[in-house]
Structure 1
């Protein structure tokens, strides 16, 4: 294979016209014909890397994910399968690992560090230091994935420190997760060997972390979208940033992957040389990925794009093979494997009721485009001595049901931000333990939404006036064996139904899924109760 086009010389930040020859899956030669660019020729660029992604959040299995993202120039992803590991343990990790083996994509695995994310919730499995060591010894991995228990690191909690030591023993990168961490605590966190963070959501926070020695992964996913706040770092610290999606639903991925972030950076006026460091080179170097970087004798991994304005990917080449030719669909075999764990029986209406105690109650305040929440207290209407939702204040009920115990255990609280005027919506995607979570205006629609998901063994759904619309997710209650294109259509329909009920959130299902993640501030709800992340402890719903 020979390819002629415009190339980038990163040593001098210059362009040149040339021709690349592929031999036995490697780059055999690159001939230079002249300086500058030829507008009649495409650009030959390094393939794109997603530096941190949970494939399960795309709601499709790895084969369908891989077949989709290569069409947008992605040649590799660093993935943390902690979603399905929380549900199915090592069996879940093995499922993702084996499914990813025969895909047209470099899928590089981290070992989940926090299964469950905290000791304050119920999950389907636990990964201790021995489990992590077992996976490092038996599977090809590149990192210990995001250490979400940052209080455990800062305070030197023994079992947390044991996990970090296992990673160091295996000489693995240790990825971080430290929203709003700063000062002395940040230094302790980094001092434990943690080298990346994708949770920074302000420029000052990210800059402090970079100056303290961290790599920052600029995240642009479905609910968490931090590019606008952080993009200046691309030019200011081009060697210290990477791009990632973290959690992206089908309706986001249908419009692109890392190429979408590249286009955003180009629109902001950043240099293509700096952008490609963030979109490719830095991740390859940091994780020591076996991905070529357009040098002689490298693996022939590169993309062909029409120009540096539209940045439309025309071909994606992996190990010298054209895995996507524009306009052709990649055939992906359908997986027959299904792993799941759903033990809980249906709940009853009484379990959704909250008695009035004649005091204000704590309210979670969800924010559009953020995973963090705020909180406040409010007095709510009372009927028959039970607290009610109040749509005039945009205060709705939120419930979490433990799916791993047969006897239903339900926690109920209140949330502001979703702005539903009727009905309820629910999901078995509820980070990170993936219990069933539901927000609603009234108990009868919440009850139907929750029990339908239990009967289906997982999914996402919307219920209004006792009419239920559902997308089943039979693989772990997280994924379906369908293409991104099909899932995007179904997801958009459900998403629109939630918005028709009143929600103004950009991605209401994604925001809902993070209301139970007990490691991102400030007030969340898990299957054991209301949780103050700042205090890292449970709090009473009723204000004392």
Structure 2
């Protein structure tokens, strides 16, 4: 502290100075001309030119200095990379911190999964903060790989990288005051931590119950009206722009200069290839500016607002006393980082990391062998019908929500037969954690594949095996491939595996480099166009959310077709008595 004070008072040289830049002042929403003076990882002054001396002088004439961006809510596992590799693809875009919920790996591996994620950040350059998973399992209507109680979470509360309780998804447990959920909420409150929400489809009255429980954020808004309701009730709205859920354009009209401090940006879930090509929060900032938002306001949402929401008191601004986390850009419309500094150290330049690659991760055997599918036969995928009327899950491209529709389906010999012409395909979820043997089959519309099958072990949030197909044979080949691979993504056509990506870390993440994984993912996307020539949405990410029973309208878990609004199982077949057989 004394050394930094001495340098701030010019008794000692600073480490480096960036001169002649336009500096984003996110407190006053103005551009400020000056020099950014850095020492010991901190900004010690914004000065007039020539006022300070330093060991290094950087000329930034004609350029802009912007605070490091913060992703207010992300699941790193959805990048399919372990945190060490995730760090190396996201920092070059100017995202210097993320607040992540590791409930994906926790739903597979429990406390061992959390411990792995915490070990992974010990030598990364960016700040990776964790929220403790509140919903493992997500609901009682599915079988996950683990259960985390408040007692389990208490072991992690005082870890320096833990900020609070992650998205509370089981809203009935909150609103009904269930003891297990209240214990987790109280654990976070007693520790003075923030609690994230998950208000997908909730009414204003239900949000009122969330606020009574101390829940502070929501990233599930899909309309401006929902966003304004949350803000009026004192919440932060995290505007989501990910791979499958793209809500920024719809929510942006709710943001004004008067209420903007209650908004921040997040991605929630974004795939590896898009993260490498687009980045995350930098992309949201550029999109907001394209939609008419003032650049300074967009930058404020992406930095200061997120920092204040999560009590990161030294983050989010290029100002005296703040951590020296910032990026240099020359075009505010594209928000492409020319260089990125983290803690006063230049870590990336022209879209590439300039620091040494990390050592390979050490991973427990149990996490690497998480697949326990039963021996499956065609009979296991049979969907019997007496009539031909069905409850069908209809996807909404580029959204996480689905719609429940009723449709006449093709039935032969008392069994549902998929129809490519009607785009009515078979969807199945199979428990893969504990040899329980539970499985469910339903009908989905909107996937659009013309042949074959697609399967993955990324199936939020319990991450059982999920497969969609035009025929049972290809679906079985895909499921058996997942078992052999110990998890991943696979595409099958006419009995042959035409592309796959092995994800050995809990069936969620690769253990190879980001560059290697990107090449394999590119092959997957090429293969998808073989079975779906007109594909125009993110099929794998959409498929991965069809098993999440907390986002409306209906989803499929390993225990059956689930009506999220009614919060109960419903039959696939619609009969006169309203019951299945």
CA distance in 1, matches of 2:109, 2:495: 32
Aligned residue for 2:129, secondary structure, equals strand
Aligned residue for 1:351, secondary structure, equals helix
Which deviates the most, 501-510 or 77-86? 501-510
Residue in structure 2 matched with residue 269 of structure 1 by the alignment: 292
| 1:341-490 superposed matches below 5 A | 341-406=370-435, 408-468=437-497, 469-490=499-520
Which deviates the most, 126-135 or 173-182? 126-135
1:334 Cα deviation from its structure 2 partner: 4.2
Q: 1:263 to 1:360 in 2, by over 3 A?
A: same
Which deviates the most, 296-305 or 479-488? 479-488
Residue in structure 2 matched with residue 186 of structure 1 by the alignment: 207
Aligned residue for 2:99, secondary structure, equals strand
Residue in structure 1 matched with residue 169 of structure 2 by the alignment: 148
Which deviates the most, 242-251 or 22-31? 22-31
Contact residue 233 and residue 241 of structure 1 kept, 8 A: no
Residue in structure 1 matched with residue 23 of structure 2 by the alignment: 7
1:374 Cα deviation from its structure 2 partner: 0.5
CA deviation vs aligned residue, 1:141-198 (integer Å, no higher than 9, x gap): 1110000011221222222122111110111100000112122221111111011000
1:359 Cα deviation from its structure 2 partner: 4.5
CA deviation vs aligned residue, 1:313-371 (integer Å, no higher than 9, x gap): 01111111111122644432242423242222331111011222225121111110111
Residue in structure 2 matched with residue 536 of structure 1 by the alignment: 567
Residue in structure 1 matched with residue 66 of structure 2 by the alignment: 45
Whether 1:17 and 2:38 are equivalent positions in the alignment is no
1:419 Cα deviation from its structure 2 partner: 1.2
Whether 1:497 and 2:527 are equivalent positions in the alignment is yes
CA distance in 2, matches of 1:217, 1:11: 19
CA distance in 1, matches of 2:523, 2:444: 24
1:8 Cα deviation from its structure 2 partner: 2.6
Q: 1:380 to 1:126 in 2, by over 3 A?
A: same
1:489 Cα deviation from its structure 2 partner: 3.0
CA distance in 2, matches of 1:188, 1:292: 31
Whether 1:525 and 2:562 are equivalent positions in the alignment is no
Aligned residue for 1:371, secondary structure, equals coil
CA distance in 1, matches of 2:298, 2:387: 56
Q: 1:40 to 1:27 in 2, by over 3 A?
A: closer
1:291 Cα deviation from its structure 2 partner: 2.5
CA distance in 2, matches of 1:15, 1:421: 53
1:444 Cα deviation from its structure 2 partner: 0.3
Contact residue 306 and residue 316 of structure 2 kept, 8 A: no
CA distance in 2, matches of 1:231, 1:483: 36
Residue in structure 2 matched with residue 74 of structure 1 by the alignment: 95
Unaligned runs of 5+ in 2: 1-15, 51-58
CA distance in 2, matches of 1:484, 1:221: 18
2:134 pairs with 113, 122, 125, which one? 113
1:169 pairs with 190, 208, 212, which one? 190
Aligned residue for 1:231, secondary structure, equals helix
1:41 Cα deviation from its structure 2 partner: 2.4
Aligned residue for 1:431, secondary structure, equals coil
1:455 Cα deviation from its structure 2 partner: 1.3
CA distance in 2, matches of 1:485, 1:73: 19
CA distance in 2, matches of 1:432, 1:451: 21
CA deviation vs aligned residue, 1:435-488 (integer Å, no higher than 9, x gap): 000000000000000110011110001000011121000111001123334323
Contact residue 116 and residue 122 of structure 1 kept, 8 A: yes
CA distance in 2, matches of 1:25, 1:387: 63
Contact residue 345 and residue 454 of structure 1 kept, 8 A: no
Contact residue 145 and residue 434 of structure 2 kept, 8 A: no
1:239 pairs with 261, 269, 279, which one? 261
1:196 pairs with 195, 209, 217, which one? 217
Give the TM-score, by structure 1 length: 0.96
Contact residue 80 and residue 271 of structure 2 kept, 8 A: yes
Residue in structure 2 matched with residue 314 of structure 1 by the alignment: 338
CA distance in 2, matches of 1:109, 1:456: 29
CA distance in 1, matches of 2:145, 2:266: 27
1:137 Cα deviation from its structure 2 partner: 3.8
Unaligned runs of 5+ in 1: none
Which deviates the most, 445-454 or 160-169? 160-169
| 1:183-332 superposed matches below 5 A | 183-236=204-257, 237-254=259-276, 255-289=278-312, 290-291=314-315, 293-326=317-350, 328-330=352-354, 331-332=356-357
Residue in structure 2 matched with residue 513 of structure 1 by the alignment: 544
Cα RMSD of the aligned pairs, angstroms, is 1.8
Which deviates the most, 60-69 or 335-344? 335-344
1:256 Cα deviation from its structure 2 partner: 1.7
Contact residue 518 and residue 524 of structure 1 kept, 8 A: yes
